[in-house]
Homo-oligomer: A and B are copies of this chain.
Amino acid sequence: MSINEANKNCLQRIQESTALWSDIRPAKEVIPGMSERTVLHAGPPVAWENMCGPMRGSITGACIYEGWARTPEEVAELATSGELEFDSSHHRHAIGPMSGIITPSMEVNVVTNTVHGIETYSTLYMGIGKVLRHGAFDDEVLAKLRWMNDDLAPLLKASLLRAGGIDLKSLVAQAVQMGDELHNRNKASNALLLTSLVQHLIAVGDKAAVIEAIDFIDKAGHFILNAVMAGSKGMLDAGSNVKDSTIVTALARNGYETGIRVSGLGDTWFT
């Protein structure tokens, strides 16, 4: 096949893709090969030795959250002991913003590319400021993480199931026409998301919990971002591994180096 034909084929697979935010489930139940000590991170593979401060901070928070360690020192020891299985989230159909740390008990967005039967995963968006993805791991951050996993996630999950999922592709297509660039401006997408979800939230949740959830989503400002990342990955993954295609299907960094993957060159990272 010529490169042009291969690229057309690749593009068609990407463009015909869908992104349905269909569920929220624990990482260990849905992410492939998630062992009891797997730690997924953003970008191409990187060893603990080369990880930047914020990524180490995120891992510290995640390990304490999981109950694997109690202090940053214990985490550092654990991380160099070989007991943790570090891997790029890209190798597990998963993705996350900034350090992108995902550990087994975290609740993750499940996004389905219904055309190609691909499921992708991402953690829930935690808000701005002092949050895990930026490397923060104090008690306040861990308490927020617990609330998100224990309270927010079940409510959102029930709402998503009642709604039959949220069509992220349609929502994003509208939002980009409404001034969002879907990274640092999500004013339209967040408002459209709330408008779509709110009846279902009210139907399945207690009044106080629903108000708390809506207040959090509204103030977080970019809540839809992580789900959209998973959706985008699911669409680009549909275009990966097309023989002879030169289209870049992944562009990601881990704080140490940046890597790309090229469709026709399989799962190899070029960093």
**Residues in B neighbouring A214, C-beta threshold 8 A:** 198-199, 202
The stretch of A16-24, A45-53, A203-211 that contacts the partner chain: A203-211
Task: Name the prevailing secondary structure of the A interface residues.
Answer: helix
CA distance A194 to B174 in the complex (A): 17
Asked if A244 is an interface residue, CB under 8 A from chain B, the answer is no
Contact of A178 among B188, B198, B203 (CB under 8 A): B188
Number of copies: 2
Distance in angstroms from A196 CB to nearest chain B CB is 9
CA distance A239 to B104 in the complex (A): 63
**Residues in B neighbouring A267, C-beta threshold 8 A:** none
Asked if A218 is an interface residue, CB under 8 A from chain B, the answer is yes
Asked if A84 is an interface residue, CB under 8 A from chain B, the answer is no
Contact of A203 among B174, B191, B207 (CB under 8 A): B207
**Residues in B neighbouring A198, C-beta threshold 8 A:** 194, 198, 214
Asked if A195 is an interface residue, CB under 8 A from chain B, the answer is yes
List 9 contacting pairs A-B, 8 Å CB cutoff, sorted by A. A174-B187, A188-B188, A191-B191, A191-B195, A195-B195, A198-B198, A198-B214, A199-B214, A202-B211
